[in-house]
Structure 1
Amino acid sequence: MTSLLTARDRAKAERSGAILREAATLFAARGYNGVSLEDIGTAVGVSGPAVYRHFAGKQALLGAVLIKVSDDLITGGTRVAEAADDDGARMQALIGFHVDFALGNAEVIRVQDRDVAHLADADHAEVRRLQRAYIELWIDALAALIDATPEELRLRVQACFGLINSTPHSTRAASRRHSATATVLAAMAEAAVRVAI
């Protein structure tokens, strides 16, 4: 009985993950208002109403997509920052992590940029909390490298995010997979965040 329950739970988790991935793809392609639960269900081989077994509705699904990506950023960013040997390596690791994330998650970045206003209040607050924590992680790393006010550090970090996150809007999918794209983007991001004024 326990192994059957485990298999059932595993299958449900896999289906939920598939629904999240397809929802992100469809939201990125058509926008939140251009996608129905039926569209999402069809993309994963179930009916629209079957999606309700996993998520309370389309708005809850959008929340799950954007909370997951925000949580992935803070978890991954914390991991690479803690593994770095020194302050310079910490900043480089965070930049490299974010570049890889942006190049590999272009669809979710488009959804975040365009559809965050459709989140329920509680989901919006959670996304903002996670994003603030991620920004603070970067600010702490940058503060060890340059002498600047907290406001300037925040400005540098957010400008760096703008540079990196613009890539999904300005490059084709094929070029995002090319290693030279990541190398150029990381070098530009590091120059931008640490430029002397």
Structure 2
Amino acid sequence: MDSSTTGAATTRSQAKAARRAELLTAAAAQMAQRGFAAVRLEDIGAQAGISGPAMYRHFSSKTDVLDTLLLDISERLFSGGNAVCDRGLPPYSTLIELVGFHIDVLVTKPDVIVVQDRDLSSLTPEANHQVRLLQRRYVERWVDVVEDCAAQGLLPTMARAEARVRVHAVFGLLNSSPRLPAMDSDRLRPLLTAMALAALGAQIGDGQSTD
């Protein structure tokens, strides 16, 4: 294969990936607004400006779209959380970065978060298993950091089971943000950060910063 053929194939591949991403964005918006059950594959295509039959070049069914959406967001959270934890920062700084990372995902993918909270049960069994596995692993990375902070006296001493409950509570709090009343991002971010840290038992202002 010569360079011109390779270049054309790369361009086609990039165009297909861009179109697929556009369709997923349209699907997330439709499903967040109307619910998975009420959305047809043709509705997603119409929002993205393509015909219903053309949708089948990208996805085999509406459920395939949902599987892809929720697997993508779960993989993004898990890999991003790992990247934060693997930077080697002090435990409390790592915790701050984890909270900030999670909020960043919420800000960029609010529709997907709404769909995940409401329509997780509509996944195929295989996708449901993989999503829940990624979610559990993501939670455990957070729990490790919470325990490290507690060991240094930066959070209250707690059993791992309690740390896990607190992390789940933080996710519930943060993941509700797409449904909160509108607020400027520069005010909402520090508010959510402070609330998340408080849910983990941090004493904000006691030598610790949310910056």
TM-score by shorter chain over 0.5: yes
Which residue of the other structure, out of 165, 188, 195, is the alignment partner of 2:195? 188
Query: Following superposition of structure 1 onto structure 2, how do residues 23-38 of structure 1 map, counting pairs within 5 Å?
Result: 23-38=27-42
Equivalent residue, structure 2, for 1:164:
174
Residue 2 (structure 1) shift: 1.1
Within 2, Cα distance between the matches of 1:121 and 1:59?
Answer: 11
Tell me which protein shows more helix as a share of its residues: 1
* Superposed structure 1 runs of 4+ greater than 6 Å apart: none
Which amino acid counterpart does residue 80 of structure 1 have in structure 2? V
Which residue of the other structure, out of 129, 137, 157, is the alignment partner of 2:141? 137
Residue 103 (structure 1) shift: 2.8
Secondary structure at the residue paired with 2:86?
helix
Higher mean displacement: 159-168 or 62-71:
159-168
Secondary structure at the residue paired with 2:56?
helix
Query: Following superposition of structure 1 onto structure 2, how do residues 87-166 of structure 1 map, counting pairs within 5 Å?
Result: 87-146=91-150, 147-166=157-176
Give the unaligned 5+ runs of structure 1.
Answer: none
Relative to structure 1, the CA distance from residue 79 to residue 17 in structure 2 (aligned partners, 3 Å threshold; closer, same or farther) is same
Residue 106 (structure 1) shift: 1.7
Residue 89 (structure 1) shift: 0.4
Residue 44 (structure 1) shift: 1.3
**TM-score where L is the length of structure 1:** 0.93
Equivalent residue, structure 1, for 2:54:
50
Equivalent residue, structure 1, for 2:6:
2
Higher mean displacement: 80-89 or 132-141:
80-89
Within 2, Cα distance between the matches of 1:50 and 1:19?
Answer: 11
Give the unaligned 5+ runs of structure 2.
Answer: 151-156, 204-211
Identity of matched residues, % = 39
Residue 163 (structure 1) shift: 1.2
Query: Following superposition of structure 1 onto structure 2, how do residues 47-86 of structure 1 map, counting pairs within 5 Å?
Result: 47-86=51-90
